[in-house]
Structures are given as structure tokens and as C-alpha cells.
């Protein structure tokens, strides 16, 4: 287990007017992450994602709870935790004046590797992350996507096996996001890294993550593969468009027989949600045919993570950042 956290909690004391109030940012979470997994940590604004990440990366002390990260105890051995992980924060960490290569080497020195080692690793990472020719460039002259990849290179210069990425693609255009997804997936396939990332983007979690943890109001409300989450909450939608409205009752009773609840009827369209449409369709089509029900069209729609999120938290994720 690369991350094993139990009851991790953090309360902040803040002031509301003159009154002192305790804000429970994270209310006691259990997190297990296996080696080689890419895990997405999702939740609406203020749900507690960054606070959890800051605790797991030793930047913030938990109020209560315990964790081992990369095999070291978070409370007793923070130094070794820090040496074993990479952390790419939301804002990035590049100072604007230095050259990209210098920043990488400085970062390596910070982690206790030699300048020669940091240069070698840095150049290798620049190649892997499509930053060839950028070694002597100032980060402020780079595009958003290039700067984000430079942030990631900095987080990887000491060759950590566990990488934390806080909203890695926020603010990038769709093409740069898709490009970064490839690089994040490569971290696992080419380097065997474990990746723990926070995101607001459901499509990102869906495309990239083996497993998704959903946090809401400081508590984890779901942990599963994207597919299982979608099946669990929403189910697939089967929609039959009939040639003849007179066949609606027959079609409806056959859909009801699948056992997914009451079919919804709208003119010549009869639909139902079922856990997994793939296995239901062949027998359904045969029995509709046998009953003489002619179809004009059939549509199957898989639920999106959006459906899942809305069902679970009653809130939608901020998609526009």
C-alpha cells in the first residue's frame, strides 16, 4: 500500500466577525492507494481536496488521524515521506526570472541529489514531457501547457515513486489538457509511478483514473472505478423508438420484465434504466421481435460521471475552471 490513511482530519480555527469558529475542512478520511494506481480525488469547491493533499504531503499537520505515505509514517518520519514523493501544487512552483533548466537543477538540489544527477534527470524529463529546447527558456515565455509540464518535471526530478498532482490541467485549453493526460498516464506505464491527483473535471477522471474517490463536506462518499460508480448510481438508459404507437404497452411490459423499475413512456418512445444494458439487449431484441414489435431505432446511453456526482452530492462540479 503506497498510501494508507485512517481517520485523517483537519480543523481550522477561523473568525466569523468576533466569533471564533472551527471549520472542519476534512472530517476523518480513510484512504488506501495501491502501488501503480492512478487515483482521482474529486469533489466540489471547498470539499477538502487540497487540505487532504497537503496533509498527505507533510505540508499540513492533521488535527487527528494517522497515515503512512510511501511506506513512512506521516507524523514520525515526515522527512522520508517528503523525499519519496513528488508534489505538484495547484499554482505551480516556477519563479519567473530563472531559466527552466536552472529551476529543475535547484529543485533537485533541494531534494539532496547532485547538480550532475539533477541535470541528467532534468534533460531526460524534458525529453519525455516534450520540453526539448526549453532548457534555457524562462518559464514566463512558455505556454500554459509547457509551464504545467515544467511543474511536473520539477516534481519528478528526484525520481519519486508516488506523485501528487493538484488540479494538473486547470486553466489549460482542451488540446493541452489531452496532451497532459498522455504524460500523466505515461508516469505509470513508463516509470511505474503511483499518481494521486485532484481534479474538477469529470472527463479527466474518467479518462485517466483507475479509481475515483469522491469527497464532499470533508468526508469520502464514494471510492470505486469510474465504470462501477456509473453503474452503481445511474445505470444505463435503454431507449426504444417504436414504429407503431399501438405496440407501446407490449414494449413497456417487456422492458419492465428486465427488472430495472417502471419504464418511461413518451409517445412512441419507451425507455428504462438498467444496471448494465450490454447483457440485456440481445434477449430483449429477440423477445420484441417474437412479439412483433417493430423498432424504428434503439439507443443505449451510458451514464456520465456528471450523473453520478449529482446523485451523490446533490451538487455539480465546477466545470468552468
Ligand X SMILES: Nc1ncnc2c1ncn2[C@@H]1O[C@H](COP(=O)(O)OP(=O)(O)OP(=O)(O)O)[C@@H](O)[C@H]1O
Report, in Å, the least distance between residue 50 CB and ligand X: 3
Judged by beta carbon, residue 46 or residue 259, the one nearer ligand X is: 46
57 scored as a contact of ligand X (CB under 6 A):
no
Judged by beta carbon, residue 302 or residue 315, the one nearer ligand X is: 315
49 scored as a contact of ligand X (CB under 6 A):
yes
Task: Pick the stretch among 49-57, 111-119, 136-144, 252-260 that binds ligand X (CB under 6 A).
Answer: 49-57
170 scored as a contact of ligand X (CB under 6 A):
no
Residues binding ligand X: what is the number (CB under 6 A)? 12
Q: Helix (H, G, I), strand (E, B), or coil: what is residue 22?
A: strand
- For helices 115-128 and 144-156, the axis angle rounded to 10 degrees is 140
48 scored as a contact of ligand X (CB under 6 A):
yes
DSSP letter at 10?
Answer: E
Interacting residue with ligand X among 8, 25, 202, 305 (CB under 6 A): 25
Cell of 166: 493538484
Report, in Å, the least distance between residue 14 CB and ligand X: 5
Kindly report the CA angle at 228 between 222 and 231, in degrees rounded to 5?
105
199 scored as a contact of ligand X (CB under 6 A):
no
Sheet of 64-69, strand order: 19-33, 3-16, 64-69, 72-73
Report, in Å, the least distance between residue 290 CB and ligand X: 53
State the binding string over 1-20 for ligand X (x if CB under 6 A, else -): -----------x-x------
216 scored as a contact of ligand X (CB under 6 A):
no
How far from 186 is each of 101, 111, 159, 179, CA to CA, in Å? 22, 23, 14, 11
DSSP letter at 149?
Answer: H
Judged by beta carbon, residue 47 or residue 113, the one nearer ligand X is: 47
46 scored as a contact of ligand X (CB under 6 A):
yes
Task: Pick the stretch among 45-53, 106-114, 122-130, 223-231 that binds ligand X (CB under 6 A).
Answer: 45-53
Task: Pick the stretch among 42-50, 109-117, 181-189, 283-291 that binds ligand X (CB under 6 A).
Answer: 42-50
What residues contact residue 99 under an 8 Å CB cut-off, 6+ apart? 135, 136, 137, 138
Sheet of 38-42, strand order: 85-88, 162-166, 194-199, 38-42, 211-216, 219-224
Q: How many CA atoms lie within 13 A of 254 on its CB side?
A: 23
40 scored as a contact of ligand X (CB under 6 A):
no
23 scored as a contact of ligand X (CB under 6 A):
yes
Judged by beta carbon, residue 12 or residue 141, the one nearer ligand X is: 12
**Contact (CB, 8 A) for 223 and 42:** no
In sequence order, the β-bridge partners of residue 26 are 10
47 scored as a contact of ligand X (CB under 6 A):
yes
Report, in Å, the least distance between residue 142 CB and ligand X: 24
Q: Which residues of 240-261 are buried (b: 16+ CB within 10 A; e: fewer)?
A: bbbeeeebbebbbebbeebebe
Interacting residue with ligand X among 51, 146, 170, 193 (CB under 6 A): 51
Q: How far apart are CA 36 and CA 38, in angstroms?
A: 7
| Residues in contact with ligand X by the rule CB under 6 A | 12, 14, 23, 25, 43, 45-51
Amino acid at each position: 500500500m503506497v498510501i494508507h490513511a485512517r481517520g485523517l482530519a483537519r480543523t481550522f480555527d477561523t473568525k466569523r466577525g468576533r466569533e471564533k469558529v472551527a471549520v472542519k475542512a476534512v472530517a476523518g478520511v480513510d484512504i488506501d492507494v495501491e502501488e501503480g494506481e492512478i487515483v482521482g480525488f474529486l469533489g466540489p469547491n471547498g470539499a477538502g481536496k487540497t487540505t487532504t493533499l497537503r496533509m498527505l504531503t507533510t505540508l499540513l499537520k492533521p488535527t487527528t488521524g494517522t497515515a503512512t505515505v510511501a511506506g513512512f509514517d506521516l507524523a514520525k518520519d515526515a522527512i522520508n515521506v517528503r523525499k519519496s514523493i513528488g508534489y505538484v501544487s495547484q499554482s505551480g512552483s516556477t519563479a519567473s526570472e530563472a531559466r527552466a533548466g536552472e529551476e529543475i537543477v535547484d529543485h533537485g538540489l533541494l531534494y539532496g541529489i547532485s547538480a550532475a544527477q539533477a541535470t541528467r534527470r532534468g534533460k531526460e524529463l524534458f525529453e519525455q514531457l516534450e520540453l526539448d529546447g526549453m532548457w534555457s527558456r524562462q518559464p514566463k515565455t512558455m505556454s500554459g501547457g509547457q509551464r504545467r509540464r515544467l511543474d511536473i518535471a520539477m516534481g519528478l526530478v528526484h525520481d519519486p515513486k508516488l506523485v501528487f498532482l493538484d488540479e494538473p490541467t486547470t486553466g489549460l485549453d482542451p488540446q493541452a489538457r489531452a496532451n497532459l493526460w498522455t504524460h500523466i498516464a505515461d508516469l505509470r506505464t513508463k516509470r511505474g509511478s503511483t499518481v494521486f491527483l485532484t481534479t474538477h473535471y469529470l472527463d479527466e477522471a474518467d479518462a485517466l483514473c483507475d479509481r475515483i474517490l469522491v469527497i464532499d463536506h470533508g468526508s469520502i462518499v464514494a471510492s470505486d472505478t469510474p465504470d462501477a460508480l456509473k453503474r452503481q448510481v445511474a445505470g444505463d438508459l435503454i431507449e426504444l423508438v417504436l414504429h407503431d404507437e399501438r405496440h407501446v404497452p407490449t414494449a413497456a411490459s417487456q422492458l419492465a420484465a428486465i427488472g430495472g423499475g417502471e419504464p418511461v413512456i413518451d409517445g412512441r418512445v419507451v425507455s428504462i434504466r438498467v444496471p448494465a444494458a450490454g447483457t440485456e439487449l440481445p434477449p430483449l431484441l429477440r423477445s420484441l421481435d417474437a412479439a412483433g414489435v417493430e423498432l424504428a431505432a434503439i439507443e443505449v446511453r451510458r451514464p456520465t460521471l456528471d450523473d453520478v456526482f449529482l446523485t451523490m452530492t446533490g451538487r455539480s462540479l465546477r466545470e468552468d475552471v
